[in-house]
């Protein structure tokens, strides 16, 4: 059920699309249900149905949707859901789209209790310190359920009951269909209550059972952004606990955030302020952080990634990244490669052992294995209209402060002199030099900067050293440099 308004979120976005742990609220509900391998999985949509349906198609293409035009109550929602299916028999499991911590194991336990006790309906319940707002479980003497009474319909005595309806059920399909035809809106909210199916079944002499969970957080729903933050923190705590128990070192769980779909191998280490999102994977022995955010990044075993922001990228085994690196989509760093300090990469294949250590932009480029890209190199991939590709060959060496103007190909085993602006291809073994020739204007400081500390330093240095007879650097004579 995911058709409700979610008014208290105060949001233009439907409630069930708000995120925690890298999934939408409804995404958590669908994932928990999907893991049961049901014959059919239907989501009842209403509020914001177009965006919700589009989102569902993206996260689980086998999900069906049923549209509930008006939110007439949970009983009506389930009616809609059933109407989207061929006539089913067996067990129908109903969950809510706004209960994100519910685990598949809890659903399995609920189904097991339902089967073992031969129930017509089994409801998941929990005892909570503050039951206000929830439906209360009215138990019969034998422990089965007589009825569920909504808070608004409950007497003062019933409101003292601390066992609440989690809104998660297993129904025998025929019992459910029959009950849904008989429920009415004769209640405080004028809604069609799904919960009334339980008392109807009971009155028909059917068995209505309970599965009580001691993990009440799994049954908590999100109605506003305060609850969303509380459950987000709790989900993260659970994710980190499971990772630590599986052998991952997390130095500061308070500042570490890991999404549900992230996988991390044992003996990886997460340093403070690390956020791992999406489908990020981290190999054994890798160290991430501090201050690193990775989204959909594959980090190889033994790699280190320090103070880095990266997305949709691959970092090879034993590679080194950062500090202060920005890996944009399409970056693939080879084994033992390096993307160093103040380096931005985009659509960049960097070969095994290749190094881009300092102050570089590398966009739309293939860098061969073992190549070395000097400090301050810029791959100029964009001419203002189109983006073009640059190739830097294997074991080639790009001198510092060079600009490689795309499209251009630096051949395997060639050199580019520091400070060059390269616009044409090189051949293997070449040294490409593309810069002004240096000339030294002798005596310029004494003539044009007389009286400065620089001039004094020049004079002192000159008096300490005998003049070098082989010095030809002053061949420009008295001519003065203007630039
Ligand atoms: C419901 C239960 C209550 C239980 C609580 C647990 C009923 C009558 N009451 O109350 O016993 O303790 O859940 O959280 O079922 N929805 C629809 N269409 C509708 C109405 C609701 O799809 O017409 C969906 C909502 O989007 C939500 C779920 O059903 O995902 C629960 O609805 P909500 O209005 O939150 O029910 P509660 O009043 O909290
Ligand atoms: Ca609710």
Would you say 356 and 381 are in contact if contact means Cβ atoms under 8 Å apart?
no
pLDDT band (50, 70, 90) for residue 468: low
Give the distance (Å) from ligand 2 centre to CA of residue 17: 15
pLDDT of 166 reads 95
Ligand 1 probe mutation, 153, 167, 169, most atoms within 8 A of CB: 167
Mean pLDDT of the chain: 95
pLDDT, mean of residues 190-198:
97
The closest ligand to the CA of 25 turns out to be 1
pLDDT one-digit tens code per residue, 103-136:
999 999 999 999 999 999 999 999 999 999 999 9
The question of whether 358 is a catalytic residue gets the answer: yes
Give the distance (Å) from ligand 1 centre to CA of residue 108: 22
pLDDT one-digit tens code per residue, 32-67:
999 999 999 999 999 999 999 999 999 999 999 999
In this prediction the pTM is: 0.90
pLDDT of 148 reads 97
pLDDT one-digit tens code per residue, 139-184:
999 999 999 999 999 999 999 999 999 999 999 999 999 999 999 9
Ligand 1 probe mutation, 2, 4, 149, most atoms within 8 A of CB: 4
Going through 116-256 in order, the beta strands assigned E by DSSP cover 121-127, 136-139, 145-149, 163-172, 208-212, 249-250
Three-state secondary structure call for residue 433: coil
Task: Give the percent of the chain with pLDDT over 90.
Answer: 95
pLDDT band (50, 70, 90) for residue 483: very low
Question: Would you say residue 480 has pLDDT above 50?
Answer: no
Question: Would you say residue 207 has pLDDT above 90?
Answer: yes
Nearest residue to 420 via CA among 442, 405, 441: 405
DSSP strand pairing (332-333 vs 320-321): unpaired
Which residues share a beta bridge with 165?
125
Question: Would you say residue 479 has pLDDT above 80?
Answer: no
Backbone angles phi, psi at 343, to 5 degrees: -120, 130
pLDDT, mean of residues 90-95:
97
Nearest residue to 98 via CA among 229, 232, 221: 221
- Ligand 1 pocket by Cβ (under 6 Å): 1-4, 44, 68, 71-74, 76-77, 96-98, 134-135, 148, 150, 164-167, 193-195, 221
DSSP letters spanning 175-196: HHHHHHHH----STT----TTH
Question: Would you say residue 478 has pLDDT above 60?
Answer: no
pLDDT of 475 reads 41
pLDDT band (50, 70, 90) for residue 5: confident
pLDDT of 465 reads 79
């Amino acid at each position: 059920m995911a058709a409700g308004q979610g008014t208290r979120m105060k949001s233009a976005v439907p409630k069930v699309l708000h995120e925690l742990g890298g999934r939408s609220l409804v995404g958590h509900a669908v994932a928990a249900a999907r893991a049961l391998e049901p014959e059919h999985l239907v989501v009842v949509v209403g509020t914001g149905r177009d965006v919700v349906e589009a989102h569902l198609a993206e996260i689980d293409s086998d999900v069906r949707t049923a549209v509930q035009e008006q939110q007439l109550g949970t009983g009506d929602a389930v009616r809609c859901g059933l109407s989207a299916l061929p006539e089913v028999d067996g067990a129908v499991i109903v969950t809510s789209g706004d209960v994100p911590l519910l685990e598949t194991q809890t659903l399995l336990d609920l189904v097991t209790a339902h089967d073992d006790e031969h129930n017509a309906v089994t409801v998941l319940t929990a005892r909570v310190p503050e039951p206000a707002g929830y439906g209360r479980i009215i138990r019969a003497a034998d422990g089965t359920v007589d009825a569920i009474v909504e808070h608004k319909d409950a007497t003062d005595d019933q409101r003292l009951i601390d066992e609440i309806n989690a809104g998660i059920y297993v129904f025998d399909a025929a019992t459910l269909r029959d009950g849904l035809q008989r429920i009415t809106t004769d209640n405080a909210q004028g809604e069609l209550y799904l919960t009334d199916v339980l008392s109807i079944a009971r009155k028909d002499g059917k068995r209505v059972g309970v599965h009580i969970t001691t993990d009440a957080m799994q049954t908590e729903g999100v109605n506003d952004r305060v609850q969303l933050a509380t459950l987000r923190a709790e989900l993260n705590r659970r994710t980190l606990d499971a990772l630590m128990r599986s052998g991952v070192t997390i130095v500061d769980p308070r500042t570490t955030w890991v999404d549900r779909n992230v996988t991390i191998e044992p003996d990886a280490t997460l340093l403070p302020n690390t956020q791992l999102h999406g489908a990020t994977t981290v190999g054994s022995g890798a160290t991430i952080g501090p201050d690193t955010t990775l989204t959909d990044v594959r980090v190889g075993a033994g790699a280190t990634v320090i103070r880095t922001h990266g997305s949709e990228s691959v970092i090879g085994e034993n590679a080194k990244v950062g500090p202060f690196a920005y890996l944009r989509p399409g970056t693939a760093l080879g084994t033992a490669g390096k993307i160093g300090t103040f380096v931005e990469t985009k659509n960049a294949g960097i070969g095994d052992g290749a190094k881009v250590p300092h102050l570089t932009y590398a966009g739309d480029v293939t860098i061969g294995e073992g190549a070395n890209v000097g400090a301050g190199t810029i791959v100029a991939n964009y001419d203002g209209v189109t983006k073009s590709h640059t190739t830097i060959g294997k074991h080639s060496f790009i001198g510092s402060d060079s600009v490689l103007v795309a499209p251009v190909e630096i051949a395997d085993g060639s050199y580019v002199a520091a400070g060059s602006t390269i616009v044409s291809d090189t051949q293997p073994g070449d040294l490409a030099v593309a810069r002004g020739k240096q000339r030294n204007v002798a005596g310029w400081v004494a003539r044009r900067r007389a009286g400065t500390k620089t001039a004094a330093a020049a004079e002192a240095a000159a008096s300490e050293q005998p003049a070098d007879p082989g010095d030809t650097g002053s061949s420009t004579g008295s001519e003065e440099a203007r630039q």
